[in-house]
Amino acid sequence: MELDSILGWVSAYGPVALSLLLLLGIVGLPVPDETLLVFSGYLISRGTFSAPTTWAAAALGSISGITISFLLGRTLGLHLIHRYGRRFGATGERIERVHQWFRGVGHWGLTFGYYVPGVRHFTALVAGASHLEWATFTLYAWSGAVLWVSTFLAVGYLLGEQWRRAVDHAHQLLLVASVVAVLAAVVYFLRRKSRKSGTG
């Protein structure tokens, strides 16, 4: 489906369509997630969409998608994901990259993984397969969903009629966000290591 058709569907069916598409995108289907959020933010600025309703729908769709991925990882395990996940873009190389990312930045990978291209689709699968505690998963993954949704809705709202500029530069925006996420993770671990050294 072409981008204009997807945007037209969101315009016609509102936040419900946005929520469903984000759910599918987070699970791993080829959906232009950031573009949908930026476009929806633009529609909020025009008064076409209600801000609270759109934000709630986007958060619900993202949280539902990440939770489904987590449950798939927990029930199927990485060996089945490696075997069948290719149909959804979950190649062995991508999963291993995310597994290393998850081992490196820990639970924060669930929060900031949304901003890293090729990562957010698989962090929850890896977390589920690793049997991460439910309470920990919801804390980090759901807060990440809220932060990610809020960021791109705000970009679309603030740019208004110029929202397509954000879409045209989506890769640059995600690159900047990725750098920020990595720096935040590095600062966190350096501080934690420093505290352990101080108490040791």
Q: What is the mean pLDDT of residues 157-167?
A: 78
C-alpha separations of 112 from 38, 49, 71, 102, 168 in Å? 18, 27, 19, 11, 22
Instruction: Flag whether pLDDT at 79 surpasses 80.
Output: no
CA distance 198 to 200: 6
Site of tokens 């076409």:
48
CB 90 within 8 A of CB 122: yes
Domain positions in the chain: 3-199
The pLDDT of residue 74 is: 84
CB 101 within 8 A of CB 123: yes
Model confidence at 49, in pLDDT bands (50, 70, 90)?
A: very high
pTM of the predicted model, to two decimals? Answer: 0.76
Q: What percent of the chain is modeled with pLDDT above 90?
A: 26
Dig out the tokens for 8 from the structure: 């037209």
Q: What is the mean pLDDT of residues 29-35?
A: 83
Q: What is the mean pLDDT of residues 84-92?
A: 54
